[in-house]
Chain A
Amino acid sequence: MRFYHLSAWMHSTVFYHTITHHLVTRTLIGGLLATATVASSTQSIALHARFTPDRLGVPTNLSATGQLASADGGIPSPVTKVAFYTPAGARIDLRGAGTCTAVKLERVGPSACPANSRAGFGGGVGLFQLAGETIREQFTVDLFLAPREAGHLALLAYVRATNPASIELVLTAREIKAPKPYGLGFSVEVPLIPTIPGASDASVESAFITLGSPNVAYYETVHGKRALQRLRGLISPKTCPPGGFPFQSAFDFADGTTTTANALIPCPRS
């Protein structure tokens, strides 16, 4: 029985596909807050997160949304690093799951990854400034399980935007050791993404992520027979501490500032 209590350093690797014009995308990976939290001196982040189903000790989905704003009303500074820590007791059961590689994603895209390597999805709105005008573009995120490295979990994030400019990014994230009272930890470093000459590097206005699902299943051949195997994936903690599940997220920005947000997801009612 393999359970992964995430606790390792993150490394991120960025791969670009061609194209002259890039629009910045940033991926926020993490399960985050039920309330908006502390801002740095120039950036603020409003975060919301939940488990679905909202029950203890069951396969679940963790979804989060984030809205970034700049204190001066301009475009937020580009995010260069995101780290988050989930509640203690949350675990991952990867029996039956497959993996994908960064090379496959870069060369072919998500269709090259086996369906049972899907870990989650996401997206949002990126933006940059050009000649005083703000340009917005939607982006999507596909998350896949990568092969373990030294026993630690790794995730691949395929980031894509199509209009007005086409862009594809593959980010690799690994485990992070989480301090108490947290359990799972992730961190991803995000490089600056230039856009067009004269325009600002890309930033993020909003993003969402959805990890895991309670009812994922795939057919496997077991002892010569085709059988439906259910993936447990992300499992919610069995107990909820007084006050709710604690989450923390920290964002580094290109302007050198850092924003740390702490919040609690209310304990399930039943």
Chain B
Amino acid sequence: MRLSTVTLALLTLTALPSAALADPTTATIVPSLSPDRLGAHAALTLTIHYSGGELGVPAPVRRSVLRFPAGMSISVPTLHSCSTRRLRTDGAGGCPAQARLGGGHALLEGRAGSQIITETIALSAFLGSPHNLQPAFEVLGQGYTPYDQRTVLTGAVTQSDPPYGEGITMTTPAIHTVPLEPDASIVTLSLTVGRRHARTAPAIVVPRSCPAGGFPFAAEFTYADGSHSATSTTVRCPS
């Protein structure tokens, strides 16, 4: 009887190769403006945190649609661009400094063997070659250890319905680790675009009025496993 019970339990547990049940991957966004003042030329910091996924590693994000408050825009006093190809081959040093819009960092995780390998990468945001006159953005991710490699996220400006205004659609390519192991996933990303009080450097222009409830931000994400998630938040109106 005991052997039969054990057998039944084993058969119930293991009819197929076991795979941990995966929580869906979700994301949160935390925006902040500095200075936090209406009409100001400011720096916008956006932090995205991904969670869930199989065995604690979020699914890799492939597409992000970020929506910003109506009236918020980016001011670029002098237009210089840097191509995606140049960023991939030469890194940040291959681009004119005037094309740089901001920077930040990200934490990547990838499963290999029994381990989760982590890597911190440096982010640099650049103005890309425009699609006709439509602004394009590129974010270079430069990792050094354990893998010395680059990845470039590309973005284009989009228009959103109220209460949002302009947005950015970002495409994240697959971040390979080693053959036959899963691609790496971004777990957290923090990027600051613009410079405080800047009139001669790129800056985020804060709207001159703030809607009741605060400045709305939203984002939708599409992951490599085909799943989606959406999130939204507000930044309280400047006092």
Contact = CB atoms under 8 A, between A and B. Distances in A.
**Is chain B in direct contact with chain A in the complex (CB below 8 A)?**
yes
B6 interface: yes
Contacts, number: 103
B147 A52 contact: no
A228 B14 contact: no
A218 B146 CA distance: 6
B212 to A, nearest CB: 50
A198 interface: yes
A196 B10 contact: yes
Contact of B114 (A52, A137, A142, A163): A142
A115 interface: yes
A140 to B, nearest CB: 4
B115 A110 contact: yes
A130 B13 CA distance: 13
Interface stretch (A121-129, A236-244, A247-255): A121-129
Contact of A217 (B14, B17, B144): B144
Given A110-B113, A160-B114, A228-B145, A210 B180 contact: yes
A103 interface: no
B202 to A, nearest CB: 30
Given A61-B178, A198-B3, A218-B145, A140 B14 contact: no
Interface residues of B, number: 27
B146 A216 contact: yes
Given A61-B178, A218-B146, A123 B14 contact: no
B97 interface: no
Contact of A158 (B114, B144, B149): B114
Interface of A: 21, 50, 52, 61, 63, 65, 109-111, 115, 118, 120-123, 125, 130-131, 133, 135-138, 140-143, 158, 160, 162-164, 196-198, 208-210, 213, 215-219, 228, 230
9 nearest A-B residue pairs (beta carbon): A142-B113, A121-B113, A217-B148, A63-B179, A163-B18, A164-B13, A140-B114, A121-B112, A136-B17
